[in-house]
Copies of this chain bind each other. A is one copy, B any other.
Amino acid sequence: MTYELYYWPGIQGRGEFIRLALEEAGARYVDVAVLPRAKGGGVPAILEVLEARNIQRPPFAPPILKAGARFIAQTPNILLYLGGRLRLAPADEAGKLWTHQLQLTILDFYLEIFHTHHPLGDGYAYEEQKAAAKRRTKDFLAVRMPKFLGYFERVLELNGARGPWMVGARLSYVDLSTAQVIAGLRYAFPAASRRALRNRPRLRALHDVVFDRPRIARYVASGRRLAFNNEDLFRHYPELDR
């Protein structure tokens, strides 16, 4: 089966968590909105799905994965689905739920990262909420980021299996997502994240081993992985990186 991914073109965003899973597994997929409009791509392709009147189980927002006739949405839910099919999660129920639990904690983390630059939400431009962003970021860097990083470092430490992974002895989608968040943090907060990761050797190693995976490295080298930019989930505003 060839999957279809629907996600806003021009940014990595939440879509990147799905792309990394598809790439690592070598799955066939079309990144629909990245296609030219003349070939059925672009933003209109996404709006068509969101506004379709004939989808009985409609998605609320991208990312959306079309698998056969089904449209599956919500990043952790898509990964839950793909985890089983692409062997990116344990097969036993307890392992599956634990992997998913970690992914939901990653979701909490990257939502808080998004809120550092958009505490008042998407309804206002960054420039309209700069003062609020500064206050929110102060608390994030001092309290929240160390708490999340400390937690994930501990999860790596507690995993009794050999290897650098979060769950058991094999790579799972949550490793890919964690590495992606670390890459994003380094882009957004180069100074603060360097300090925060100094005592987290396992997280640094996880990032490296993920981006060294042959298929991930090929994906990055292909140019298909977009660069981080300031329209995205992770944004670099030097004034926020103290």
Contact surface of A with B, Cβ cutoff 8 Å? 56-60, 70, 72-74, 76-77, 80-81, 94, 97-98, 100-101, 104-105, 108, 111-112, 115, 119-121, 123-124, 129, 132, 135-136, 139-140, 143-144, 148, 151, 154-155, 158-160
In whole Å, how far is A51's beta carbon from the nearest beta carbon of chain B?
Answer: 11
- Contact call A101/B120, Cβ cutoff below 8 A: no
Determine if B58 and A155 form an interchain contact, defined as CB atoms under 8 angstroms apart. yes
A-B contact pairs, 10 of them (CB 8 A): A56-B158, A57-B158, A58-B154, A72-B101, A77-B100, A115-B115, A119-B121, A129-B132, A129-B135, A132-B135
Given A70-B94, A80-B97, also A132-B160 (CB < 8 A)? no
B144 contacts A132, CB within 8 Å? no
Question: By the criterion CB–CB under 8 Å, are B101 and A121 in contact?
Answer: no
Bound CA span A139–B128, Å: 13
Contacts of A80 in B (CB 8 A): 97, 100
> With A100-B80, A105-B74, A151-B60 known to touch, is A135 a contact of B143 (CB < 8 Å)?
no
CB <8 Å contact, A72 and B60: no
